Each structure stands twice: as C-alpha cells, then as structure tokens.
Structure 1
Amino acid sequence: MIKNFLGLIIFLIIQVISLDNAFAFNDHNVREFLDERENLWPELYLPNFKFSNTSRDLIYPNWFEGNWLVTSQDLEDESQAPVIYKVNFFKNNLNQVIGNRSKNSESIGKAIFGDTLIKVVNDPKSINKQITYLKDDLYIDSRITGRNQIKDDDMFFADELVIQTLHKPGASRVNQVETISKFQKCNRHNSNSENTLKPNICGFQYIATYGSKVGDPSVHAIKTSKFKLSFEFIES
C-alpha cells in the first residue's frame, strides 16, 4: 500500500517507470480473472487468487467518497423487498478512498438482522478481520483470505473471499463466502435521482457460498445469489 521512495532522483524515475509497468501487467491479469469469475456465475468454484494482495484494503474511485443510501434488490427472488442501508467511504491518510468497514457492515447487518445484531468490531491489527456480535451469545468471526481488484475513473471491480465462523454456545460452524462487486457511475436513463451533487452509482454483486472445505479448489458453490445495487448520494 505504501511505496518506499528512495533518495536518488535517477533511481526514483526508474523505480516509478518499473512500478507503473508492473501494475499495468497485474491489472490486465486481474481484469481477466475478474471477468472470468463474473462470466462463470452461477457455476462458480472456490477461487484461486493468483494476484491477491490482502495487505491492501479495497481502494475505491474518488467518486465513491461520501455517504450513500444503497438499495439492494435480489435478482434471484424479485418478490423480496429491496434491502436499504447507508454506507460511508472516506479518504485515508494516503488520500485513497476506502470503505468504513465496521460502520458499513453494521448498517447492512441492521438492515438484514434487525435488533438481533448488537455491533460490528474491526480487528485493530488487521484490515482483514472483523467480528459481528449478535444476541443469544452468538458472534461471527470473519477473515478475508483473498482479494483482487481493479479501478479506474469509470469502474470499480473486485472479488473478495471471506471465511466466516459462526460461534454459538457449544458449537461453531465454518463457511466461505465470495463476493464479486462491479460498480460504475449510472447513466442518466438508469438513474431516478435528480441529485446534482454526485451521480448515482449502479452495479451488481455476485455472492457465492462454498461451505467449510477451506482451500479445496474443486469445491463448487452450494448457493449463489445476484443483487442489483444502486447508490444515491446523501449529505449524512
């Protein structure tokens, strides 16, 4: 996430050129990987993240910064009412736009679980770990084990794999969940909002659940879902 700049100007120039080429190469391969994952849905199998970098958080385009009201519609069951929640994205100390992970997870959790959810806490030592506390002494320990992403001025495209362990008195259950996210600024004809502050964000999320066989590449998804998401900018 942080580039180590050395003192010599000539070395700096060579270093920057080399890094730019390396990132361009990696972006091309990651884009192929992400396109393949999207095209495979719903016949997904446990992903092999060749270019994964879990030392870096997901970095979003600048147009994600701010507070948003999200409407998520389950395309596999459109009879279900959309899930509506608020999310926040902000700039870190490297001027990169990142998601407010605990706040966003808590907002989504409240929309799904209601009062059953108590709170969501990030691990202060890792951007990849989070604990969700529920009533009745239940809690979910989530750990991201794979992450690929690309972004530009027009698109955000990412894939994350998380191992979730549900702890309850006397027992635990392990599950693996893959989330593929692809977002872009909405076209005017796709947006019902007249908000002139920021364009709405449109996109899809593909969710695949794999069960407890961690690391077995032959495992196929036991459940898949596809959601259509729209983000409307709000002041707070």
Structure 2
Amino acid sequence: MAQMFHMLSYAPYRGLSPLGVTAMIHRLGYEYQWKMLLDELRAQMKMESRDPNGFAERNRWFNNEVASAMAHHYIERLKKHVDNLQERKCKGIPYKRIHGRDIFVSDLDRKVYTPLIIAANLIKYAQNATQLYNAVRKFNAHRIRLSHDTPQSKTWMDAYKGAGAYFTMQNLIRFHGCLITDDKGRRLNKNQSLDFIILKATLYKDEGWRMLAVLKKMLRDNDIDIKKKMAEWRKR
C-alpha cells in the first residue's frame, strides 16, 4: 500500500504534478519486472496448497498468461537489440558480439533465440505454481540483460497496476475503515466493499489499469489525502 501511495503521489519537484503510476513503474527499469515476477511466483508456489484463497487472489494477476506474454515480449525486444548491434566479420563470415559472446549471425537462431522459445513454451504450458516458477527461472537463465530503459511488458504492467490497486483497496477496507461507494452511489458496508473489489478485480483481470481508477475513486469517496497518510506513517 505504501508503494502504491508513493507511485500515485510522487512529483520530482515541489509544486509539480505527480509523475503518474506508469512513469513511476518505468523508472523501476526493465529488469525489475523479472525480479518481481520471480518473487511473486516463489510466494505463490508456497501458498498453492497451504492457502488456496490467497493463492487464487495473487494468481489472478500473475500467472501463465502474464509470464508467457512477458517472455515473448522479451524475445521481440532482444531481436531488436541484436538487429541494432554492429555486424563484424571473421574470415568473411558475419558475427555479432552479444553480451561478451561472439556469435555468427547464422547461429543466432540456434544459440540465442531457439532456447528462449523452448523455455517460453514451458512457461505457457506449466500445470501448477511450482512448474511455472521453475519454467520462469529456466527462461531467466537464458536471458541476456537488456538496458534499464527498455520498455517493460504492457501485460506485466497492467497486472502490476491491477494487483497494486486491488491489495491497496483491500488493506484500506480491512484496516483503515474505508468503504466503497458503488457505481449507483450506494455506500456499502465492509463485507460488501470487499465483495465489490473482488467483482471489479474479476471483471478487470485483463485490464488491471482500470483498477487504478477504482482505487482513486475510493480515495476521493473516503477523503483520503495520500500525502498526509504517508506523513502519518513516517511519524510512526
């Protein structure tokens, strides 16, 4: 919740408008999404049998589909990166230097892209949380690091926004006395409010960015000043 509040409110200089969540996520850099995904999948792997409800809530946002989309997005970005690298020649045979390795252009598919495509398929067809975590780890083992400012996967970014907004609202309702005013203007009680955000999460599971709008409305309806709330936490 603190991280989401920071992303919603951060402005680079006093008096300027907040950068916005999308810009703040971009600032985390390309590699952050892979570290975050592995941490999340490790947690899900431990929860799948011990806490099925908690697992389902988290797997809604980060699952095979999201990880698979990230893998294919990475392969596309890697190909663009390699295409832009200087082509050199050894005895007349073209090659490229990729992350400290000299690879003949004719070997790029076999040595670079095919192992990634095979690993991406393991992600797509993983049958449980353990298989998914191990498949992403295997994909990561084949990955070449891209630059910090490489655009992140839109699918991951939507999931990140959706999960952040959902769990922030859940926290606000459970522990901070906030309640939902629904789409018809009715003020809901605590249990109804929790049911409402579950409904929205189910509806927007493939459009996580929409959950940010639900969160912002909830903050307005409950007169929550993000900066004041963060200042209170710092004092504590």
Please give the TM-score of this superposition, normalised by the length of structure 1: 0.24
Task: Name which structure has the greater RCO, CA cutoff 8 Å, separation 6+.
Answer: 2
Q: Which structure has the larger Rg over C-alpha atoms? A: 2
Please give the TM-score of this superposition, normalised by the length of structure 2: 0.24
